[in-house]
Amino acid sequence: MTTVFRSSALLAGLMAGTALLAAPAAWAQTAAPPAPAAAAPMPDAPVAEPAFSTVATVAETPDSGTMKRADKDMAAVLKKLGDLGVKPIESRSVEEARTQPTPADAVNAVLKDQGKDPAAMMAAMKVSKKDMTYPTAGGTQLVRIYTPDGAGSGPLPVIVYYHGGGWVIATVDTYEASAMALAKKANAIVASVEYRHAPENKFPAAHEDAFAAYKWALANAAQFGGDPARVAVAGESAGGNLAANVAIMARDGNVQKPTHMLLVYPVAGTDMNTPSYIQNQNAMPLSKGAMGWFVDKTLAKPDDAKSPMLNLTTMADLKGLPSATVITDGIDPLMSEGKMLAEKLKAAGVPTTYRNYEGVTHEFFGMAPVVSDAEKAQDAAAQDLREAFAGK
């Protein structure tokens, strides 16, 4: 089941424990104070989430009911992930977490079980790739340029894409399926950005690199066939947070604003006691314990948790940002904050589309070859991007 609401402007990895480390505890306790009583809800606001008491039984199960709640195709990927020997992230060292199998590996394993060749399927998409670099305060970082074949002679719009991984793990390789799908379906060049990771480079190093990459894309789009006047930002999870912050930094720094923001299950707040954190505290492949591990590795000091860059839902100024698409999933600790971010964007006057896919989990977006809701989410996101590039 998919829940969608649109603004009026648009219409016109892991079984995890629950113990948190010291830094994550600070993260959970630094949410903004309760807001004053809200006015009557907007007519097209999404339905409120269940009261905490209604989710306690599910939350206390070893996987927060992930396997029972997941759609059949999503459950098959999660089972394969377990078969590959994935351990809870919070039980791993940084190096172990970076080298253990990923959800992308599980997708490829499922495809092979179905008698399909993942490499041949990616080649059939006819999306070429080229590695370049962009300068950052830490030297240079990789940016991989994905270009759809047969796109015509004119310059193509550009999507600057930021991968997930809690600012600690994963690379552009891990999220290649998402980048290639967006290039193909949105008929756009995707610049998939690598950035400095924690704990080697603590917050806000990744955010600084993200903005540097965006400015590089604006200045160099013509070199790789892109249109510098049509540059959007996109990201998943921690990358969704980076994408939103790039739009904010562009607005505040008098830099050309992105054409659109695609924010897929973004990290948008610091409150680990939201309804979805409670309901999905042991969910797979992302749990409350895993998020705590990421926070512990990322923050340089507890006060970093007070930054508006991390508190998009409660402390950031969202006015004057470009149109947005926010995508969440039902089996995910981050679902509540993603939904709240969509509501806050809309309240700030930002044309916003929100979609929630109920029977899937964190990381589902890049799984289109085996998960039907991923295909639907990609198609919808690509349509929003095409409309934004066309000025609609």
Angstrom distance (rounded) from CA 194 to CA 390: 28
Residue 76 host element (H or E) = helix 72-83
Amino acid (one-letter) located at 209: D
Task: Let me know if 384 is a catalytic residue.
Answer: no
Q: Helix 372-389 to helix 176-186 angle, to the nearest 10 degrees?
A: 50
Q: Give me the catalytic one of 332, 336, 373, 384.
A: 332
Is the Cβ–Cβ distance between 272 and 28 less than 8 Å?
yes
Q: Give me the catalytic one of 163, 207, 260, 362.
A: 362
Sign of the four-CA dihedral 92, 93, 99, 103: positive
Is the Cβ–Cβ distance between 309 and 267 less than 8 Å?
no
Task: Let me know if 207 is a catalytic residue.
Answer: no
Angstrom distance (rounded) from CA 161 to CA 213: 10
DSSP 355-369: EEEEEEETTGGG-TT
Pairing outcome for strands 139-148 and 189-193: antiparallel
Task: Let me know if 237 is a catalytic residue.
Answer: yes
Pairing outcome for strands 352-361 and 2-6: antiparallel
Angstrom distance (rounded) from CA 365 to CA 374: 5
Q: Give me the catalytic one of 192, 237, 276, 323.
A: 237
Is the Cβ–Cβ distance between 96 and 293 less than 8 Å?
no
User: Residue 262 pairs with which residues in a beta bridge?
Assistant: 234, 325
At 324, phi and psi to the nearest 5? -140, 150
Catalogue the active-site residues.
237, 332, 362
